[in-house]
A = this chain, B = another copy of it.
Amino acid sequence: MTRLTLAIDAMGGDFGPCVTVPAALQALESNPSLYLLLVGYPDTLSSLVAKADSALVARLQIIPAESVIANDAKPALAIRNSRHSSMRIALELVKEGKAQACISAGNTGALMGLAKLLLKPLDGIDRPALMTVLPHQQKGKTVVLDLGANVESDSAMLVQFAVMGAVMAESVLGIARPRVALLNIGQEETKGLETIREAAKILRDTPEINYIGYVEGNDLLTGKTDVLVCDGFVGNVTLKTMEGVVRMFLSLLKSSGDGQKSVWWVKWLGRLLQKRLAKRFGHLNPDQYNGACLLGLRGTVIKSHGAANLRAFAVAIEQAEQAVQRQVSQQIALRLEAVLPKSD
C-alpha cells in the first residue's frame, strides 16, 4: 500500500477539535497506510491526542495555526484575513504537495474561495462544483452536483459539471458508462430554464457522455440516474430538503416507541422492530454520506457538514482517501481534455 497523507483543518466546524481529533484517530485506526496532518492550535490538539494509542499518534503530526475562520464570517473578508488560519494552512499543505487532500468542516464560502485561489481550477473548468454521493432505493448510488459552490450556473458550467460527475461515477463508484441527467421540472424537452435546455442540447451532442435527459425532484432517490446535474442554488435547496425530511423520519422512528402504555414485553418487541426499521432507513441518514467533494481543482478538497459528528467527520475523511486513491482530480483532467472544446 502506498502512503496516503491528508491534511485536516482540525479547528473547523461547529464542534472543532472535539469532533475532528477523535474522527482522525478513528480513521488512522481503520487505515494503516494513512498519515494525517492536523492543523490547529497546538495546545488544544496535543491535549486531545495525549491519551491516544501511541501507534496511532506516530502517524499523526500537529501543524500549528494561529487563527480560525468563523463559521458565520463573510467569505470575502475571511479570505482576506486568512493568513495563518487552520483552513488556509491545510489547503497550502495540499498546494505544496505535503498532503494529497484536505478536509474541512469550516465556513463553506471561505473554503471554496480559498481552494479556488490556492489550488486553481483545471483547464476547461470555469468554476469548481460541490459534489456528493447519495444512496438510492436500488441499493446503488447517485452522484449529485453542484450543491452550492456556485449560486448561478450557465449552460457551459452545467456541461462541465456533467463531465466531472460522470468521471466520479466511473472512477469512484465503478459504474461503466454512467447515466447522466439534468434536474428539471418536467421530462419534456421544452421544460424548464433556458440554461438547462441549452446544456441538454450540448450533452445530447457529446458522445462521451451517456446523457439520458431530464429527471424530476421526486426521482432523487429512485436510482433513475447515476449522475444528477443542477445549478448550485437548486442543488443546495434540494439536498437540504431531502436531509430535512430524512432526519424528521429518523427522529419520529426513534421517538415512536416512547410513552406508550404497554406491558414490558410489548414495549421490548416494539423497540426491536423499530431498530430494524431504523437500520433499513439508516443508509439514508445524512451522517452516513457526509463529505461533499469540491471537484474541478488541481487538488482534492472535501467539505464536511459544519454540524458533523464524529461518525460523519470520519466518513468525510474516508471520502478524501477514496478520491485520492482513485485519482479523481487527474481523471477529470484527462476527460476534460477529451470532451471539452479546445481553446486554441
Q: How far is the CA of A256 from the CA of B152 in the complex (A)?
A: 41
Chain B CB within 8 A of A246 CB: yes
**Are A248 and B236 within 8 A (Cβ)?**
no
Chain B CB within 8 A of A80 CB: no
**Are B240 and A242 within 8 A (Cβ)?**
no
**Are B185 and A148 within 8 A (Cβ)?**
yes
**Are A188 and B151 within 8 A (Cβ)?**
no
For A, the interface residue count at a CB cutoff of 8 angstroms equals 49
Decide if the interface of chain A is mainly helix, strand, loop or mixed. Answer: helix
Q: How far is the CA of A236 from the CA of B230 in the complex (A)?
A: 14
**Are A151 and B185 within 8 A (Cβ)?**
yes
Chain B CB within 8 A of A112 CB: no
**Are B241 and A238 within 8 A (Cβ)?**
yes
A37 vs chain B, min Cβ distance (A): 30
Chain B CB within 8 A of A206 CB: no
The 6 tightest CB contacts between A and B, nearest first, are A217-B240, A218-B244, A217-B241, A185-B236, A218-B240, A217-B237
User: Could you tell me which A residues sit within 8 Å of B by CB distance?
Assistant: 72, 74, 137, 148, 151-152, 183, 185, 188, 190, 192-193, 216-222, 230, 232-234, 236-249, 252-253, 256, 266, 269-270, 273-274, 276-277, 280-281
